[in-house]
Amino acid sequence: MKRREFIGGLGGGAALAACTPQTEQQGVSSSAERFSWKLVTTWLPNFPGLGTGVNTLARYIQEMSAGRMEITIYAAGELVPAFEVFDAVSQGSAEMGHGAAYYWRGKSEAAQFFATIPFGMNAHEQNAWLYYGGGLELWREVYEPFNLMPFPAGNTGVQMGGWFNRPIDSMSDLHGLKMRIPGIGGEVLRRAGGTPVNLPLSEIFTALQTGSIDATEWVSPYNDVAIGLHQAARYYYYPGWQEPAPTLECIINRDAWNSLPEDLQAIVRVACQATTLDMISEFMARNATALAQLQADENVEIRKFPDDVLTGLKELTYSVVDELAVDDPLFARVWDSAREFMAISQPWQAISEQAYLATQASS
């Protein structure tokens, strides 16, 4: 097959055409106009994996556009506070933002599906749903009233269940447990008899070390070791039922998006995809290294949640999600889409990734 026929046959011609000299023939508009955009984030500057992921995204866009797009990054609090990123981009005071959709449940409960929900999809499934299962179209619909264009731009992969100052042997051990755990996961803990609290990153370590909280989830070994959580509690539980695949997002003000020529739109779109691949790869590599460090630490016990605890938490999760669906038709539609996708992805996962990984574990 000739190269141009091959590119045309992919259907995603716009994305690839930017890399070819035949952009005019492919119908992709271009211009010499230069764009200088502000990118506001919910992360601390250069925070490992997340803040550095934003740096990667900006660098990809600047390099691929040969400087026609210049991106200035503002970490949390530098231009707007972390939790005002959505509004800042919606209103156009910044053209672009980076964060996670579950931070915006106050705008739309349905947004949470585009980050992660407890006992939801893993990263493979989440990307498959977004790109090939209708998820991205729903995400655009949810954000459209806010004048925002969303793109997946990063994923941490499955997180850890968190750090606990006492063992969790049964559901009754969650009674009275005061834990930093946001979102739907926090509501699930509350229904299990615990007390969810939300703390900013800067306060988590001290709260756990001083005993003002009994437990916290944060991310996974790479990020958790970076803020010293292994020095504040003994028991490190898995799996991260509360966040199986947090997708990070790049949000763009729609007026700013529409002002870009098509070739720059393609560059931004592909830079976001490339950032997802880069971040998931970085987390895999660095989590593995950090886990080895924790396994060698005699002050840390790495434990799996008992099966009946996971089953109990899963039942509570679905009761919370089903109640949200009763109150919010858009949430219900997105949940239907996600649930239908999981119903077909899980049987495939079971005989592919899961079955293969089982052979590795037993060898």
Closest by CA to 295, choosing from 221, 350, 345, 228, is 221
Residue in the block written with tokens 């003002």: 212
Least Cβ distance, residue 214 to Ca ion (angstroms): 17
Q: Which stretch binds Ca ion (CB under 5 A): 151-159, 254-262, 271-279, 333-341?
A: 151-159
Q: Choose which of 125, 243, 249, 282 interacts with Ca ion (CB under 5 A).
A: 243
Residue closest to Ca ion (Cβ)? 243
Q: How far is the CB of 133 from Ca ion (least distance, A)?
A: 24
Provide the token pair at 263.
């070739």
CB of 158 to Ca ion, least distance (A): 10
Q: x/- site string to Ca ion, residues 192 to 231, per CB under 5 A?
A: -------------------------x--------------
Question: How near is the Cβ of 167 to Ca ion at its closest, in Å?
Answer: 21
Using the Cα atoms of residue 88, residue 90, residue 95 and residue 98 in order, give the sign of their dihedral: positive
- The tokens for 248 are 């990070």
Residue 155's DSSP bridge partners are 247
Nearer to Ca ion, 60 or 163 (CB): 163
Determine the distance from the C-alpha atom of residue 111 to the mean position of all C-alpha atoms in its chain, rounded to a whole number: 12
Binding region for Ca ion (CB under 5 A) out of 237-245, 300-308, 312-320, 331-339: 237-245
Say how far apart CA 228 and CA 234 lie, in whole Å.
Answer: 12
Q: How many helices (H) and strands (E) does the chain have?
A: 15, 11
Q: What residues have CB less than 8 Å from 101, skipping those under 6 apart?
A: 111, 112, 113, 114, 115, 139, 150, 247, 249
In eight-state DSSP terms, residue 84 is G
Contact segment (CB under 5 A) with Ca ion among 152-160, 208-216, 299-307, 324-332 equals 152-160
- Distance separating alpha carbons of residues 352 and 363, to the nearest angstrom: 17
**β-strand partners of 195:** 178
* Closest distance to Ca ion from the beta carbon of 243 (Å): 5
Total number of residues that touch Ca ion (CB under 5 A): 3
96 - beta bridge partners?
Answer: 39, 252
Could you tell me the smallest distance in angstroms from the CB atom of residue 222 to Ca ion? 13
State which residue, 242 or 265, has the beta carbon closest to Ca ion. Answer: 242
Binding segment toward Ca ion, per CB under 5 A, in 102-110, 239-247, 296-304, 335-343: 239-247
Minimum CB distance to Ca ion smaller for 58 or for 100: 100
Question: Least distance from C-beta 217 to Ca ion, angstroms?
Answer: 5
Nearer to Ca ion, 122 or 159 (CB): 159
Residue 345 Cα to chain centre, angstroms: 19
**Interface with Ca ion by CB under 5 A: which residues?**
159, 217, 243
